[in-house]
Amino acid sequence: MEQYIFYFVALLALVSAIYMVFAKNPLYSILSLIITFFSIAGMYILLNAQFLGIVQIIVYAGAIMVLFLYILMMLNLKSKDESYKKGYMKFIGILSAGLLLTGLLGAYRGVQGSALLPTSDQGVGLTQNLGKLLFKEYVLPFELASVLILASIISAVLIGKKDI
């Protein structure tokens, strides 16, 4: 039964994520992203990572989505105001996505098969083990993610700033 629930939640996450990318209206796109975040939280809970599931709901589906909706309302996007993107912007987007895919494939290729299998299930989902793992083995990606979030906040402020 748990496997069927997982497949349903995974399918819901995939469908809502695809709809989020292809939706014409930005409001529908944000609402679809909320469904995606809740689906991912459901997968975390099914994988016995209750802390991550609750944090996913509180932080992403709660705070971040409220921020996105607020920014969307502040920008007041209309279909007649949207300009068409230049061809070089599409090329840059495709190039960066290709580089990201290449990096992910290279990282996947470097992972050993035995490293994917855990040795024991003791303490799965505990916040103490998560904190130890996060601040000992994954401290560099954690800090890089914080710098990336800071850069996105600064860019959102610069985009939202009105020219005087």
CATH code (residue 54): 1.20.120.1200
Q: Is residue 51 part of a domain?
A: yes
pLDDT, tens digit (0-9, with 9 covering 90-100), for 68-108: 777 777 776 665 545 555 677 777 778 887 887 887 777 77
Q: Is residue 90 part of a domain?
A: no
Nearest-5° Cα angle at 7, 23 to 110: 85
Token couple for 144: 């890089």
Q: Map residue 25 onto helix, strand or coil.
A: coil
Radius of gyration (C-alpha) of the chain in whole angstroms:
19
pLDDT, tens digit (0-9, with 9 covering 90-100), for 17-27: 999 888 888 77
Report residue 114's pLDDT band, with 50, 70 and 90 as the boundaries: very low
Q: Is residue 116 part of a domain?
A: no
pTM of the complete model: 0.54
15, pLDDT greater than 90: yes
Total count of domains within the chain? 2
Q: Is residue 43 part of a domain?
A: yes
Report residue 11's pLDDT band, with 50, 70 and 90 as the boundaries: very high
Do 13 and 71 belong together in one domain? yes
| Final residue of a structural domain among 63, 78, 93 | 78
Q: How far apart, in whole angstroms, are the C-alpha atoms of residue 66 and residue 72?
A: 10
Q: How many Cβ atoms are within 10 Å of 111's Cβ, its own excluded?
A: 9
- Residue 160's domain comprises 126-164
